[in-house]
Structure 1
Amino acid sequence: PALILLTVAVPSFALLYSMDEVIDPIITLKVIGSQWYWSYEYSDNLEFSDEPLIFDSYMVQENDLEIGQFRLLEVDNRVVVPTNSHIRVLITASDVLHSWAIPSLGIKLDACPGRLNQTSMFIKREGVFYGQCSEICGVNHGFMPIVIEAVSLEDYLTWLKNKINFDFNV
């Protein structure tokens, strides 16, 4: 029995470690779940600024929605990422368990206080992708939407420059 276990375990561990991180991502997106909003940090933009880009993302209240926006799904600050790029997502929580889920991208990542979780994503087409917290985290759990906007690399760089200039010129 021990020989059979070793025969299975050695290749499994070799494969596990070789799959860990083969591709160097163009962006690392840090996500922090809090009751009841998401915080995001882009820290790979040091060629544009000395500080990382950090912002919070709250659900847009129903009376503030514009025509065409989805109730309970729209946020005040969307996560913008470039298409056809490898993106690393690091996630944690500041208070209770959360789960960062975007079903149309096939992503569901648990956020645990004191722990760091990681996944990667590669979005092939431009568009807006909606998700929500999928871990019951308290009374306003249903009001933690996630919006990912995938744009071209050129549009992403324009958005990043505008966001940095706006945040640091306020």
Structure 2
Amino acid sequence: MLFRVITLFDEKKNKIPATIVHGATIEIIWTSIPALILLIVAIPSFALLYSMDEVIDPIITLKVIGSQWYWSYEYSDNLEFSDEPLIFDSYMVQEDDLAIGQFRLLEVDNRVVVPTNSHIRVLITASDVLHSWAIPSLGIKLDACPGRLNQTSMFIKREGVFYGQCSEICGVNHGFMPIVVEAVSLEDYLTWLKNKINFDFNI
């Protein structure tokens, strides 16, 4: 383009420069074509954005509630085994109470346990101020807002322990709200659930 301008718009060839106020045709073309392309891209994109939020037939629905400065978890899908949903709080383990091999500022007293190879719906909210439930290794970061229920999903393919933290400044102890998700086999998950709700059922 620069070479074309240098060669064609030479002062010797154009003693009297042409004055063009605007070109209606070219302006219509460079406005309408990008707008049409964006419209073509936008229509399927909106459908995909809405479908991404929907979790079809999840095995588990995990409700996460952020508070200053701990997390609460609720498993409500076990009502057929118990009269009450499984609810527990998860606090950071203090440095003096850490076992050998545990990570400082990342270990909790109650881990979230989920089965592998299962679709899991996660509902997130907060009881006081803004928090953010973030687990980088699972690609999850969702704001926990008081009075609002946000939704995401996860599908973990391998067993392991995944660490995260609150990622929204929420007060003086913001840095002491770790998250630990332990992914286990479905059999181990049912065993954990049985022990957690203290109810004996056949696996």
Same fold (TM > 0.5): yes
- Write the distance in 1 (CA, Å) between the matches of 2:51 and 2:119: 17
Q: Deviations along 1:130-158, whole A, 9 cap, x unmatched?
A: 11111110000110000000000000000
- Write the distance in 1 (CA, Å) between the matches of 2:71 and 2:117: 24
Structure 1 residues 102 and 167: alpha-carbon distance in aligned structure 2, compared to 1, 3 A threshold:
farther
Structure 1 residues 8 and 126: alpha-carbon distance in aligned structure 2, compared to 1, 3 A threshold:
closer
**Structure 1 position 46, deviation (Å):** 1.4
- Write the distance in 2 (CA, Å) between the matches of 1:81 and 1:67: 24
Task: Extract structure 1 runs of 4+ deviating beyond 2 A.
Answer: 1-20, 166-170
Structure 1 residues 104 and 166: alpha-carbon distance in aligned structure 2, compared to 1, 3 A threshold:
same
RMSD: 3.1
- Write the distance in 1 (CA, Å) between the matches of 2:161 and 2:40: 46
**Structure 1 position 17, deviation (Å):** 3.4
Structure 1 residues 72 and 16: alpha-carbon distance in aligned structure 2, compared to 1, 3 A threshold:
closer
TM-score, scaled relative to structure 2: 0.76
**Structure 1 position 95, deviation (Å):** 0.6
| Paired residues of 2:128 and 2:146 also in contact (CA < 8 A) | yes
Task: Return the index of the structure with the highest Cα Rg.
Answer: 2
SS of residue in 2 equivalent to 1:54: strand
Structure 1 residues 81 and 3: alpha-carbon distance in aligned structure 2, compared to 1, 3 A threshold:
same
Query: Gaps (5+ residues) in structure 1?
Result: none
SS of residue in 2 equivalent to 1:84: coil
SS of residue in 1 equivalent to 2:165: strand
TM-score, scaled relative to structure 1: 0.90
Which is bigger in relative contact order (C-alpha 8 A, separation at least 6)? Answer: 1
Q: Which deviates more, 158-167 or 100-109? A: 158-167
| Paired residues of 2:117 and 2:155 also in contact (CA < 8 A) | yes
Task: Name 1:83's counterpart in structure 2.
Answer: 116
- Write the distance in 2 (CA, Å) between the matches of 1:164 and 1:64: 25
Task: Name 1:27's counterpart in structure 2.
Answer: 60
Q: Does 1:99 align with 2:117?
A: no
Would you tell me which structure has more strand in proportion to its own residues? 1
**Structure 1 position 8, deviation (Å):** 5.0
Structure 1 residues 26 and 64: alpha-carbon distance in aligned structure 2, compared to 1, 3 A threshold:
same
